[in-house]
Structure 1
């Protein structure tokens, strides 16, 4: 496998290469793959990239097929994908698409359905469909299993509750299931400045505070739109459920959280928990490995994991921040078929258990039932498996970035105390309604909150 990028990303050091070789020599899947053309995958440099790289190297070893990785920063990966799919002949075969832009690729007709390339392809029934985002009905412009299989999950990232298991054990507490329980426990441990009950993200960014607010919004039974699956984009953000969620988020920050919540981004939130400064955080599962890294953490083996809380009668509802692999439509047929062969292998339980051992987040539910999930190191797997069943796809349209920008500003201002939750929700609802109307979606809005 070769790796390259615009910034000259090169192979890992000799030590990393030896580590990868040891991983592969100890992980034999016995997969009999067809011999196919070389393929190129465009991907972002991320905390989970190294596990994907090792998994690809295992595929090469097991199959004898060749894969090239073009590795880029987050924004650079999107730019390269956009340029490639609009060219007369695409440069990249497999597009690793983020939850923020895969709809753009679907709606634009830039990726080809896996089952159109190979009608006999079968999705492993244990693969998480992640809010059915791997499917798309081009006629109805909706993501539904009734549509075509457009992509394969690559990394099923959602936020999870991280909490101090050692403190819970000392206090005789169980993992919080409801928001009321989380608040009570956060208040119990809140002793600033030595310890904060919970640390939350509140900074404005490209998709920052909004992403961390989704588990609260949907966990209270609220939402941004009435029914995306039915293409009804009427705005429901500023209903009583949305207000209850935002009021709760703000109350936690002010009464049991960090005094500078409005300025905290993900790195600062994680830093607070690994330095022993907070009892709770809700953040993406990709941060799990930092918890037990002795070079980064003073709470090694003390952090436990649970699905995000919810109100009674409403299931946990973590928002998807996942990655999907779609096959570019404008590449030669032999490379399309070769990419299908890679995805056929990648989705299997054995490949996903190997990916887990390499540090990845598996996409196949069978991997979460494997004995590896009983190992202390992987204690996050069973809670994650439960949460993934309830994951929510927040956006099903290509103009989502405009809506996210509205949420980022409004939520940040409310958390900072610049405006009330009522003003924030009403103003965000008005702006989002205008965006959806501009693009001719079926939309509408509620009466303003008083």
Structure 2
């Protein structure tokens, strides 16, 4: 049976379960603005299952990452948003929270609650406007998670078995494994390094965090400290560059997420750190490595264990839509967090946001072997940026990190330059941040 036919069969079975679990209610048509990404086909399939079961209409407005963000920014500032659900990324949701653009879900329906099985992803579903803090302790529930989107290590299980290798826990172990598996036709590892909206910055977090570094760190008292040119960040980037230069793609600075995933799917890479795309790797029509890709949390160091960045996606309802559309949006979000919907989401090839599903018997089935790695990685996952100026900071880090990876600028110079530029952005925004101490 092909991947497509398996997906069709499982979705059909799930639709029966969904029909039994929920009584369909007629709601106003809604439009969801969303980005094109490796997990989108699974979301699209589940939206279609919702339409089939309820008879309600959902239109998907699909865009590139940056395009979706710009449409959301414009929509929430209009007299009436053309979108009823915004799919917000972890790097930017704070901008919409602090701007007061998102409707508290319990103001739409006082009885609405986030299911106990759904991850809050470091409390990113909630916002305390008075304290200006991301917290579910006294904060309003503003969103429902729709995709975990964390980085996990992908490796070729068949090659590991042939070479007698063990799953790496540290970057040093990963380096040695990648060196062993590198050939003239296969990269030891493929890494994303191209400049984008939140591309290379997102992918270097596991390296820099596990070496004690950061970019802009929030302190216990709520203040911020620029740390992109700290010794820890320098060490993390040196580890990234060692892998890239010694056992990686010859043009890492030009590699997009799509390139990285395709390198694995076509057998050109022994390892990648990426958001999971298990449906693609096990699809016989798209992959040369069906059944051969295995998964684990990203490596760490001997001193600091694995930590993966939250690049997850949250569904929020804009304030500037009609009450009927708010109710219709909430109806979809209520349905989406049910166990049956979350299982159908996984069956369609995407990552559920339900702990119960990730830790269920599904994880023991070969096609869902990625679930255990995801469940192991999520407890150590961290938010990346918790201030609304993140887009300005990312414009800096995407450029400077890419220049360092591509050899256009020495690493220390790139980190120092980024630190000075980020400090100015934060100071101009009113933050009390001292001038950075430069690496020598």
Aligned to 2:257: 266
Residue 439 of structure 1: how far off its partner (Å): 0.7
The question of whether the paired residues in 1 share the 8 Å contact of 2:423 and 2:436 is answered with: no
Residue 129 of structure 2 corresponds to: 138
1:375 is matched with: 365
Q: Which residue of 1 aligns with 2:162?
A: 170
Looking at structure 1, the residues matched to 5 and 190 of structure 2 have their Cα atoms a distance apart, in angstroms, of 37
**Distance (Å, rounded) in 2 between the aligned partners of 1:446 and 1:259:** 33
Q: Is the 8 A contact 1:31 1:62 kept in 2?
A: no
1:424 and 2:375 aligned: no
1:404 aligns with 2:394: yes
Q: What's the CA shift for 1:306?
A: 0.7
For the residue of structure 1 that corresponds to 2:86, the secondary structure is: strand
- What SS does structure 1 have at the residue aligned with 2:167? coil
What is the TM-score with the length of structure 2 in the denominator?
A: 0.91
Q: Aligned pair in 2 of structure 1 residues 93, 271: CA closer, same or farther (>3 Å)?
A: closer
Gaps in structure 1 of 5+ consecutive residues? 1-15
Query: Could you tell me how far 1:352 is from its partner in structure 2?
Result: 0.2
Name the CA distance, whole Å, in 2 between partners of 1:23 and 1:226.
Answer: 42
Query: Which residue pairs with 1:296 in the alignment?
Result: 286
Which one is further off, 334-343 or 16-25?
16-25
Name the counterpart of 1:90: 81
Matching residue of 2:191: 200
CA deviation vs aligned residue, 1:80-117 (integer Å, no higher than 9, x gap) = 32333222233322112223332221111111111222
Contact 2:335–2:341 (CA under 8 A) maintained in structure 1: yes
- Which residue number in structure 1 is paired with residue 297 of structure 2? 307
Do structure 1's residue 186 and structure 2's residue 174 form an aligned pair? no
Alignment match, 1:112: 103
What secondary structure does 2:21 align onto?
coil
Question: Equivalent of 2:404, from 407, 410, 414?
Answer: 414
Q: Are 1:366 and 2:356 an aligned pair? A: yes
Question: SS of 2:399's equivalent?
Answer: helix
TM-score if structure 1 supplies the norm length? Answer: 0.89
Among candidates 362, 382, 392, match of residue 392 of structure 1: 382
Residue aligning to 1:11: none
Residue of 8, 12, 36 corresponding to 1:24: 12
Find 2:92's aligned residue among 93, 96, 101.
Answer: 101
Distance in 2, matches of 1:38 and 1:68, equals 11
* Cα distance in structure 1, aligned partners of 2:411 and 2:100: 39
Measured at CA, do residues 258 and 83 of structure 1 come closer, stay the same or move farther in structure 2, by a change above 3 Å? closer
Q: Which of 384, 404, 423 is residue 433 of structure 1 equivalent to?
A: 423
Partner of 2:438: 448
> How far 1:437 moved relative to its partner?
0.7
Q: How many residue pairs are counted as aligned between the two chains?
A: 433
Is residue 65 of structure 2 the alignment partner of residue 77 of structure 1? no
Mark the CA change 1:217 to 1:109 in structure 2 (over 3 Å): closer, same or farther: same
Separation (CA, whole Å) in 1 of partners of 2:10 and 2:242: 49
Distance 1:270 1:189 in 2: 18
The CA distance in 1 between the partners of 2:215 and 2:62, in whole Å, is: 34
The CA deviation at 1:331 is 1.6
1:228 positional shift: 6.1
Shift of 1:313: 3.9
Question: Shift in Å at residue 25 of structure 1?
Answer: 5.4
Which of 142, 147, 162 is the aligned partner of 1:150?
A: 142
Name the structure 1 match of 2:316: 326
Consecutive unaligned residues in structure 2, runs of 5 or more = none
Question: Per-residue CA shift, 1:117-146, capped at 9, x if unaligned?
Answer: 222222112211122211111122221222
Match of 1:55 in 2: 46
- Matched residues in 2 for 1:262 and 1:72: separation? 24
Query: Is 1:243–2:234 an aligned residue pair?
Result: yes
Measured after TM superposition, the shift of residue 69 of structure 1 is 3.2
SS in 2 for 1:81: helix
Q: For the Cα contact (< 8 Å) 1:34–1:341, is it kept in 2?
A: no
Q: Which residue of 1 aligns with 2:115?
A: 124
Separation (CA, whole Å) in 2 of partners of 1:77 and 1:205: 14
Higher alpha-carbon deviation: 147-156 or 388-397: 388-397
The answer to whether the Cα contact below 8 Å between 1:233 and 1:444 also exists between their aligned partners in 2 is no
- Cα distance in structure 2, aligned partners of 1:442 and 1:121: 39
> Would the alpha carbon gap of residues 352 and 445 (structure 1) be closer, same or farther in structure 2, given more than 3 Å must change?
farther
1:197, distance to aligned residue in structure 2 (A):
1.5
Specify the SS of the correspondent of 2:144: strand
Question: Is the CA contact 1:40–1:70 (under 8 Å) kept in the aligned structure 2?
Answer: no
- Structure 2 distance, partners of 1:26, 1:341, is 18
Once residues 59 and 115 of structure 2 are traced to their aligned partners in structure 1, the CA distance between those partners, rounded to angstroms, is 25
